[in-house]
Amino acid sequence: MQYKDILYDVKDRVATITINRPDKLNAFTQNTIYEWEDALTKASNDKKVGVIVFTGTGNRAFSAGGDVNWEKEGGSKTEDYKTAHMLIACPKVVIARVNGWCIGGGNHLAYFCDITIASEHSRFGQNGPRVGSPAGGYMVAHLANIVGHKRAREMWMLCRRYSAQEMLNWGLVNAVVPEANLDEEVRKWCDEVLSLSPTVLKCIKNSFKYIMDDTMKKDMFENLNEVAPNYFDTGEQEEGASAFLQKRKPNFEPYR
């Protein structure tokens, strides 16, 4: 596959998948998802790769989530997102290198990685209810496994923004360092992983997968069809996306 939205590199047994849409704060479309899933499969199967790093181009954003223009045009209606399952099933340790905004789909991409390392200026949070972007199933529920139900519900239901230090305190982030030290810190963690038994690490990852089986039973669309089967026909999603792009407060009153 020829990549347009991502960069892929392997060096010293570390595969790095970089979302390369800096003009959009590394927000993604379906094409971006297809590309990083292809790269993730490639890295998972490459015997020369021992650790996988996910990141975004530049220092403004890891990823701002789904591209709102793409969602407004109906992209999320047919979204095909296998990434969370792939990260869970991946036999290798996956590290999220977060430098800047880590919002919405970018945030749950990072928290599905095994380890998250962030620069001090990074900011985290969810965006779905704010812009009418549907979210549900295991992508939402898994956060409770990481930070507990109260914190997970706060993050998803209020769409607040949180500092890297707050997320370190919550347990969503493993380490926070100055931006100048981010690459050095990520490499240090990669080297520690590479010094360990790869087979035992595979067993450990598979063991963690067992406790996630219940939350993985339903994906976003199964959950959405159960709660609101005609959601995309109501106009609620279009209102959320339009308000975001027009920088105004959305009017969700007709949909309550």
31-74 tens-digit pLDDT: 999 999 999 999 999 999 999 999 999 999 999 998 888 877 76
Q: Is 5 or 73 the better-scoring residue by pLDDT?
A: 5
Distance of alpha carbon 42 from alpha carbon 33, whole angstroms: 14
Domain count, the chain: 1
* Beta partners for residue 15, in sequence order: 10, 52
CA-atom Rg of the chain in angstroms: 18
Q: Per 3-state DSSP, what percentage of the chain is helix, strand, and coil (rounded to 5)? A: 50, 20, 30
173-199 tens-digit pLDDT: 999 999 999 999 999 999 999 999 999
113-142 tens-digit pLDDT: 999 999 999 999 998 888 777 777 888 989
β pairing state of 123-125 and 162-163: antiparallel
Q: What confidence score (pLDDT) does residue 238 get?
A: 76
Range of the domain at 206: 6-180+198-210
Q: Which residues contact 226 (CB under 8 A, 6 or more apart)?
A: 218
Residue 228 lies in a domain: no
Residue 33 lies in a domain: yes
Residue 87 lies in a domain: yes
Q: What confidence score (pLDDT) does residue 13 get?
A: 97
Residue 40 lies in a domain: yes
193-226 tens-digit pLDDT: 999 999 999 999 988 887 776 555 566 667 667 7
% residues pLDDT > 70 (the chain): 92
Residue 232 lies in a domain: no
CB 56 within 8 A of CB 99: yes
Q: pTM to 2 decimals?
A: 0.86
State mean pLDDT over 19-34.
Answer: 96
Residue 256 lies in a domain: no
CATH of the domain at 32: 3.90.226.10
Residue 227 lies in a domain: no
Residue 231 lies in a domain: no
Distance of alpha carbon 191 from alpha carbon 195, whole angstroms: 6
